[in-house]
Amino acid sequence: MVYIVTGAAGFIGSNIVKGLNERGISDIIAVDNLKSAAKFKNLTDCEISDYFDKSEFLERLPSLGKIAAVLHQGACSDTMESDGRYMMENNYRYSLALLEYCQSRATPFIYASSASVYGAGSVFRESREHEAPLNVYGYSKFLFDQVVRRRLPKKTAQIAGFRYFNVYGQRETHKGRMASVAFHFYNQFRASGCVKLFEGSAGYGNGEQRRDFVSVEDVVKVNLHFLGHPETSGIYNVGTGASEPFNAVAVATVNACLAHEGKSALSLNEMKARGMIQYIPFPEGLKGQYQSYTEANIDALRGTGYDQPFLTVEQGVSRYIDHLVRAG
């Protein structure tokens, strides 16, 4: 049977394809939109059996025969996208059509939601009263989650949605400005010897806004765990369960770079004193649309039996920088 990964040339999708390969699975149909052609590079070291553009995929579904599972990672993830019609068609309506097909064929459906559904809240638990998205991207994910909640009691096969928090790691180069802060910090430091963070906002000090930063390595592990447990359905947070400040990501990035230069690690204060970390004004365009704090409550995820530890920022960013350095 074939496995389908949508968004397969994207950041998380391509890592999932590689994860499936490492489990000996290569009968994979990759689905994506390569209008931005640079994404193809994410699949050059992966084994797939076929590729479909997302515009033709839904029509071709009935001809694909028995499907082992669909891992739906495809979406517009640009939180600054202002075309609401495009966002809803791409993220909501397309996902709904794919869900309905999978349910009609009793096919497991694992999909990407987002922590953006929580908006500016301070409680990050998978419950309706804590959900209030700040932008149309978050709303598109929120609305689809509501459909899933209504379908779960009468599901014909697994439906599992993952609310990803701030994911970082390899295969995100194509994302440009939407790539992780770890990626941008690395490139800034390599180019100028300096990392730039936002000044304080929403009551937080310079660089002290906090997020739950989760390595894509851990995201793949969660997806593959659920793939191996088709009896488990629901909507789950996927984060480390611990928020860390942007300053911590900057320090981890700089120290990983220094290690590759054979230099000793420095503290945050030492980096600031040497001009390695600087702060820039908080962008006007992000005011009112920015999550200054996120921290996944992962009790529900742990309750499914997933007991693997998550990489800390120091661990995960160091491994990521090692990869970026090796890649040149």
Question: For the segment 203-261, what is each residue's pLDDT rounded down to a tens digit?
Answer: 999 999 999 999 999 999 999 999 999 999 999 999 999 999 999 999 999 999 999 99
Question: CB within 8 A of 111, min separation 6: which ones?
Answer: 71, 72, 73, 95, 99, 144, 159, 160, 161, 162
Across the range 300-317, mean pLDDT stands at: 98
- Report which secondary-structure segment, H or E, holds 70: strand 67-72
Tokens of 81: 């996208």
Give the predicted TM-score (pTM) of the model: 0.95
Residue 301 amino acid letter: L
Q: Which entry of 3, 94, 137, 139 is annotated as an active-site residue?
A: 137
Mean pLDDT for the chain overall: 96
- Does 175 qualify as catalytic in the annotation? yes
> Which residues face 53 on adjacent strands?
32
pLDDT confidence bin for 83, thresholds 50/70/90: confident
Q: Are 7 and 76 in contact (CB under 8 A)?
A: no
Q: Taking 90 as the threshold, does the pLDDT of residue 79 lie above it?
A: no
Alpha-carbon gap, residue 168 to 302, rounded angstroms: 21
CA atoms of 70 and 4, how far apart (whole Å): 5
Phi, psi of 168 (to 5 degrees): -140, 160
Q: Quick one: pLDDT band at residue 18, thresholds 50, 70, 90?
A: very high
Confidence of residue 82 (pLDDT cuts 50, 70, 90): confident
The residue-averaged pLDDT of 142-146 equals: 98
- Helices 216-227 and 313-327 cross at an angle (nearest 10°) of 100
| Tokens (6 digits) for 181 | 């802060």
Mean pLDDT across the stretch 68-74? 97
Mean pLDDT confidence for 6-22: 98
Q: Which of 105, 104, 135, 132 is nearest to 118 (CA)?
A: 132
Residues in the chain, total: 328
Q: What is the pLDDT of residue 290?
A: 82
Annotation marks residue 137 as catalytic: yes
pLDDT digits (tens, 9 = 90+) for 152-180: 999 999 999 999 999 999 999 999 988 99
Query: In this prediction, what percent of the chain has a pLDDT beyond 90?
Result: 89
Written in H, E and C, the secondary structure of the chain is CEEEEECCCCHHHHHHHHHHHHCCCCCEEEEECCCCHHHHHHHCCCCCCEEEEHHHHHHHHHHHCCEEEEEECCCCCCCCCCCHHHHHHHHHHHHHHHHHHHHHCCCCEEEEEEHHHHCCCCCCCCCHHHCCCCCHHHHHHHHHHHHHHHHHHHCCCCEEEEEECEEECCCCHHHHHHCCHHHHHHHHHHHHCCEEEECCECCECCCCCEECEEEHHHHHHHHHHHHCCCCCCEEEEECCCCCEEHHHHHHHHHHHHHHHCCCCCCCHHHHHHCCCEEEECCCHHHCCCCCCECCCCCHHHHHCCCCCCCCCHHHHHHHHHHHHHHHC
> Quick check: helix, strand or coil at residue 201?
strand
Where residue 34 falls among pLDDT bands split at 50, 70, 90? Answer: very high
The confidence score (pLDDT) of residue 289 equals 73
Beta-carbon count within 10 A of 20 CB = 24
Distance between CA atoms of 147 and 168, rounded to whole angstroms? 28
Mean pLDDT of 49-69: 96
The active-site residue out of 54, 175, 196, 221 is 175
The separation between the first and the last C-alpha atoms of the chain, rounded to the nearest angstrom, is: 37
Q: What is the pLDDT of residue 202?
A: 85
Distances (CA, A) of 176 to 18, 187, 255, 278: 22, 11, 23, 21
